[in-house]
Amino acid sequence: MNPILVYIICFPFTAIVGMLVSWIDRKVTARLQWRVGPPLFQPLYDFVKLLGKETIIPKGSSKITFLLAPLFGLVAATFVSMLVWTAILWPEKSFGGDLIVVLYFLMIPSLAVIIGGFASRNPIASLGASREMKLMLADELPFLLAVFVAVIKAGGAIRLGQLIAYQQTHGWVFLSASGICAIIVAIITMQAKLTLVPFDIPEAETELMSGVFVEYSGPPLAIFKLTRMMMLFTLPMVVVVVFLGGMHFQGISILWSILKYVVLLVLIILIRNTNPRLRIDQAVRFLWGPVTILGVAAVVLAFLEW
């Protein structure tokens, strides 16, 4: 396969798999609550329906920012997915420092949500955006610490391809004391980055209605929803590449690769369904307290080569 082809099909592929994954999320949630749950094409119906609706731009909002914010998020999510898949398919082709680029791009969907929320000139959206900002400040540090562990283990590799190659010869980063600490931190912060329960504080339905998205309607809302679905697929993929040795597509290892992702997804869904929502101060205290300490411990362990 040609890399150019990957660049072209990356967006539709990520979008379709993202929709599938978000359907799995909703279906499993429904089954856990002893319900039947939505049909398979539900995310697609939602998306098409939103595309067909009217776009309302609130009076007094900054129009261009309001409409462009969702696009920034979508583009960033697509880029992350593209970099990760290039690294998975051709570990030697990824460029130096693409891990850092991925980490930057992973932040942009949250930034887009913040910008969009502030641009919509709605008190509820502003409140949601400020919460999202605090949450982002809280979860970035532990997430970086967790990724740092993998970098130390691989001898200072900041190329995704190098990380995958290292794990092929030396075993997964996950299979060590520091790796286990790091992946726990990564899973918790992943939940916060995806703003799923217990960290769905920015859009808490019961107190903030839909928080940052409150003024969005029609196609921009559809794009935000699509970005979230794509992130639900892409972010666990990053974790798989960094900690669980990436994916391989020869023979039986296809199943094995998919299993890694599915286990992470099921963990996310289970955490989401068995926890109440935290308050923003509790979330920040939790992420900067125990989680960061665990992250620091993981880094220290990694330096000691455990």
Partner 1 sequence: MGIKLKALTKSPWVYHLSTGSCNNCDIEILDCLTPRYDLERFGIVLVGSPRHADALLVTGNMTMKCIPRAKEVYEQMPKPGVVIAIGTCALGHGVFDGSYVMPKTVDEVIPVDIYIPGCPPKPEGIIAGVAKLLAMLKQKA
Q: Applying CB under 8 A, which part among 89-97, 99-107, 212-220, 283-291 lies near partner 1?
A: 212-220
Residue 210 CB, nearest distance to partner 1 (Å)? 5
Residue 26 CB, nearest distance to partner 1 (Å)? 7
- Answer yes or no whether residue 40 interacts with partner 1 by CB under 8 A: no
CA-to-CA distance for 55 and 217, rounded, in angstroms?
6
Q: Which is nearer to partner 1, 125 or 238 (CB)?
A: 125
CA-to-CA distance for 247 and 303, rounded, in angstroms?
26
- Answer yes or no whether residue 63 interacts with partner 1 by CB under 8 A: no
Residue 204 CB, nearest distance to partner 1 (Å)? 9
User: Site for partner 1 (CB under 8 A): which residue of 92, 205, 281, 305?
Assistant: 205
User: Site for partner 1 (CB under 8 A): which residue of 8, 30, 137, 258?
Assistant: 30
Q: Applying CB under 8 A, which part among 44-52, 131-139, 282-290, 296-304 lies near partner 1?
A: 44-52
Query: Which residues, 6+ apart, have CB-to-CB distance to 223 below 8 Å?
Result: 70, 71, 73, 74
- Answer yes or no whether residue 34 interacts with partner 1 by CB under 8 A: yes
Angle between helices 160-170 and 63-89 (to 10 degrees): 40
User: Site for partner 1 (CB under 8 A): which residue of 45, 104, 249, 306?
Assistant: 45
Residue 184 burial (C-beta neighbours within 10 Å; 0-12, 13-18, 19+)? middle
Coil, helix or strand at residue 113 = helix
Residue 174 tokens read as 């996950």
Residue 131 CB, nearest distance to partner 1 (Å)? 15
Residue 62 CB, nearest distance to partner 1 (Å)? 17
- Answer yes or no whether residue 273 interacts with partner 1 by CB under 8 A: no
Residue 232 tokens read as 């639900």
Taking the C-alpha atoms of 146, 102, 85 and 254 in order, what is their torsion angle to the nearest 10 degrees?
Answer: 10
- Answer yes or no whether residue 39 interacts with partner 1 by CB under 8 A: yes
User: Site for partner 1 (CB under 8 A): which residue of 3, 12, 52, 290?
Assistant: 52
Selection from 144, 149, 30, 9 nearest residue 89 by Cα = 9
- Answer yes or no whether residue 95 interacts with partner 1 by CB under 8 A: no
CA-to-CA distance for 16 and 83, rounded, in angstroms?
18
User: Site for partner 1 (CB under 8 A): which residue of 6, 23, 25, 46?
Assistant: 46
Selection from 87, 191, 214, 98 nearest residue 142 by Cα = 191
Binding site for partner 1 (CB under 8 A): 26, 30, 33-39, 41-42, 45-46, 48-49, 52-56, 205, 208-210, 213-218, 221
